[in-house]
C-alpha cells in the first residue's frame, strides 16, 4: 500500500474537504438559533426548509452531465466556492424565503462537492487505502470544526449573525482560490462513463444509500432543533457541543477506517445501526438536557461508520462506473431526504417523539439489509474470475 498522503489528489481533496465541512459546520452551528431567534420559525417551517435543502442532493445525478463540460476536480473546487457564497449571503436575508434562497445556494455547492469528492477518492485510491483516506479526511475535518467551535465560543457574544457568516465564507473563498491553482490529476486511471449508470448488481448499495439518507435527514432536521426548542441550547452551548463532538471524531475517524479494512463493511455497519436504534429511541425519551447532548455526540460518531457503504461499493463496482454511480447514489440518498423533513415537521406538531421513532425503524431496516453485504462481495469476486 502506497503512502496516500503523498498523493497530490489527497492534498487537493483535503483542502476542499476542510473548506466544505467547516462551512457546513458553521452554517449548522448558527442556523437553528438564527431560525428560532431572528426569523422566528417553528418546527413546520424548519421541516420545509430542511426538505428544500436536500433538493440539490436529489439533483446530484445531473453531475454526470456537468462533467461533459468541466473536469471533475475543477467541479469540486467550483462547488465549494458556490457553497461559500451561499453562506456569505445568509445573514443579509433574515426571512423564511430569504433563507430558502441562501440555503439552496449553499446546498447546491456542498452536495455537488461531496459527489465529486467521493468519486475522486474511490478512483484515486485502492480498496485498502480508500477507507483510510475517508477516515483521515473526516478526522482532519473534525479538527477544523473544533476551530470553528472555538471561534463561535469566543466571538458569538461579540458579533452579529451577518458578520459571523461573512467571516467564515471569506476564509473559505480564499482557500478555494488558492487550491484552484493546482492540477492534482494523473492520466493512468480508467475513463469514467459520462452517462447515467443503473445496474442490477448494485441493488444493495442503492438500498443502503436510501436508508442512510432517510435516517440521516431525520437527525439533521430535528436533533439540534430538539436541543434548541426543548432544552433551550444557546449558540455558545451548540458550539461547545460541536466542539466536543469534533474533538472525539478527530481521534476516532482514522480508527473507523482501520476497522473497515480489518473487520469488513458488514460488521462495522451492523454495529452502527444497532447503536443508532437505541440512540433514536433515546431522543424520543430523553428529558435531561445533558443526556440529550450526549446522544447527539454519539449519533454523530456512528454516522462516520457510513463510509463503509462507499467502500463496499468500491469492492463490487466496475471502476468506470464510480463517477456516475456516486452521482446516482447521492440522488438515491436524497429521495427520502426531500420528503421526510417536511413529513417529520408535520409529525413534530402532533408529537415531537414521532420523527425519532421513525428514525429507529429505519435503522432496523438498515441493520437487516447490511447482512447481505458479504454475499454480494463474494458474488462479485466469483463473477470476475
Contact 194, 68 (CB under 8 A): yes
The pLDDT value given to residue 1: 45
pTM of the predicted model as reported, rounded to 2 decimal places: 0.81
Q: What domains can be seen in the chain, in order of their start residue? A: 8-183+192-384 (1.20.1250.20)
Cα 332 to Cα 197: distance, rounded to the nearest angstrom:
13
Contact 352, 230 (CB under 8 A): yes
The pLDDT value given to residue 32: 75
Residues 28-59: tens digit of each pLDDT = 888 877 877 788 777 677 767 777 887 877 77
Cα 214 to Cα 173: distance, rounded to the nearest angstrom:
31
The pLDDT value given to residue 62: 82
- Cβ atoms < 10 Å from Cβ of 169: 23
The pLDDT value given to residue 384: 65
Cα 257 to Cα 129: distance, rounded to the nearest angstrom:
9
Contact 367, 271 (CB under 8 A): no
Q: Please list the alpha-helical segments (H only) found in the chain.
A: 8-33, 43-53, 55-58, 63-66, 72-90, 96-124, 129-155, 161-179, 203-229, 235-263, 265-285, 289-303, 307-316, 322-333, 335-350, 353-370, 373-384
Contact 213, 339 (CB under 8 A): no
Tens digit of pLDDT per residue, the chain (385 long)?
457 777 889 999 999 999 999 999 888 888 877 877 788 777 677 767 777 887 877 777 788 888 888 888 999 999 999 999 999 998 888 888 888 899 999 999 998 999 899 889 998 888 888 899 988 998 998 888 888 888 887 887 888 888 999 999 999 999 999 888 888 887 677 777 777 778 888 999 999 999 888 888 788 778 877 888 888 888 778 777 877 887 888 888 889 989 998 999 999 999 999 999 999 999 988 888 889 888 988 888 888 888 899 999 989 888 888 888 888 887 887 777 667 767 777 888 888 888 899 889 999 999 999 999 988 888 877 766 5
Cα 86 to Cα 256: distance, rounded to the nearest angstrom:
32
The pLDDT value given to residue 82: 95
- Which conformational region is residue 264 in: left (phi greater than 0), alpha (psi within -120 to 50 degrees), or beta? left
Cα→Cα distances 246→20, 250, 278, 370, Å: 15, 6, 22, 27
Cα 332 to Cα 69: distance, rounded to the nearest angstrom:
24
Cα 141 to Cα 25: distance, rounded to the nearest angstrom:
10
SS3 label, residue 338: helix
The pLDDT value given to residue 2: 52
Identify the CA nearest to 303 among candidates 354, 248, 232, 239.
248
The pLDDT value given to residue 346: 82
Contact 161, 99 (CB under 8 A): no
Query: What contacts 355, CB < 8 A, 6 or more positions away?
Result: 218, 221, 222, 344, 347, 348
Q: Cell triple for residue 261?
A: 479494512
Query: What contacts 260, CB < 8 A, 6 or more positions away?
Result: 131, 135, 268, 307, 308, 311
Cα 378 to Cα 367: distance, rounded to the nearest angstrom:
19
Query: What contacts 240, CB < 8 A, 6 or more positions away?
Result: 149, 153
Cα-based angle 304, 131, 294 (whole degrees, multiple of 5): 15
The pLDDT value given to residue 333: 79
The pLDDT value given to residue 108: 92
CA within 13 Å, CB half, 31: 26
CA dihedral sign of residues 223, 226, 228, 231: negative
Amino acid at each position: 500500500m502506497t503512502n496516500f498522503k503523498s498523493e497530490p489528489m489527497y492534498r487537493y481533496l483535503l483542502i476542499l474537504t476542510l473548506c466544505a465541512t467547516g462551512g457546513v459546520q458553521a452554517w449548522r452551528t448558527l442556523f437553528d438559533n438564527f431560525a428560532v431567534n431572528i426569523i422566528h420559525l417553528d418546527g413546520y417551517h424548519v421541516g420545509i426548509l430542511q426538505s428544500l435543502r436536500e433538493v440539490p442532493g436529489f439533483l446530484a445525478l445531473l453531475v454526470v452531465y456537468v462533467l461533459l463540460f468541466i473536469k471533475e476536480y475543477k467541479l469540486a473546487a467550483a462547488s465549494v466556492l458556490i457553497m461559500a457564497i451561499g453562506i456569505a449571503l445568509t445573514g443579509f436575508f433574515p426571512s423564511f424565503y430569504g433563507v430558502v434562497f441562501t440555503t439552496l445556494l449553499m446546498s447546491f455547492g456542498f452536495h455537488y462537492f461531496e459527489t465529486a469528492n467521493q468519486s475522486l477518492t474511490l478512483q484515486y485510491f485502492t480498496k485498502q487505502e480508500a477507507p483510510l483516506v475517508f477516515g483521515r479526511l473526516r478526522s482532519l475535518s473534525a479538527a477544523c470544526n473544533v476551530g470553528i467551535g472555538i471561534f463561535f465560543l469566543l466571538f458569538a457574544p461579540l458579533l452579529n449573525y451577518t458578520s459571523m457568516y461573512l467571516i467564515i465564507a471569506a476564509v473559505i473563498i480564499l482557500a478555494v482560490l488558492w487550491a484552484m491553482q493546482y492540477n492534482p490529476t494523473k492520466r493512468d486511471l480508467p475513463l469514467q462513463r459520462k452517462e447515467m449508470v443503473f445496474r442490477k448488481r448494485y441493488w444493495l448499495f442503492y438500498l443502503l444509500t436510501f436508508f442512510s439518507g432517510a435516517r440521516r435527514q431525520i437527525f439533521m432536521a430535528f436533533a439540534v432543533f430538539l436541543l434548541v426548542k426543548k432544552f433551550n441550547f444557546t449558540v455558545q452551548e451548540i458550539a461547545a457541543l460541536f466542539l466536543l463532538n469534533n474533538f472525539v471524531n478527530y481521534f476516532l475517524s482514522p480508527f473507523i477506517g482501520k476497522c473497515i479494512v480489518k473487520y469488513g463493511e458488514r460488521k462495522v455497519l451492523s454495529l452502527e445501526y444497532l447503536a443508532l436504534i437505541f440512540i433514536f429511541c433515546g431522543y424520543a425519551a430523553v428529558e435531561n438536557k445533558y443526556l440529550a447532548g450526549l446522544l447527539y455526540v454519539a449519533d454523530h460518531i456512528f454516522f462516520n461508520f457510513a463510509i463503509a457503504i462507499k467502500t463496499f461499493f468500491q469492492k463490487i463496482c466496475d471502476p468506470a462506473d464510480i463517477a456516475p454511480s456516486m452521482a446516482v447514489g447521492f440522488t438515491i440518498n436524497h429521495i427520502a431526504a426531500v420528503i421526510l423533513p417536511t413529513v417529520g415537521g408535520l409529525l413534530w406538531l402532533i408529537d415531537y417523539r414521532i420523527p425519532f421513532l421513525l428514525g429507529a425503524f429505519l435503522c432496523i431496516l438498515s441493520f437487516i439489509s447490511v447482512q447481505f453485504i458479504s454475499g454480494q462481495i463474494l458474488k462479485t469476486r466469483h463473477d470476475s474470475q
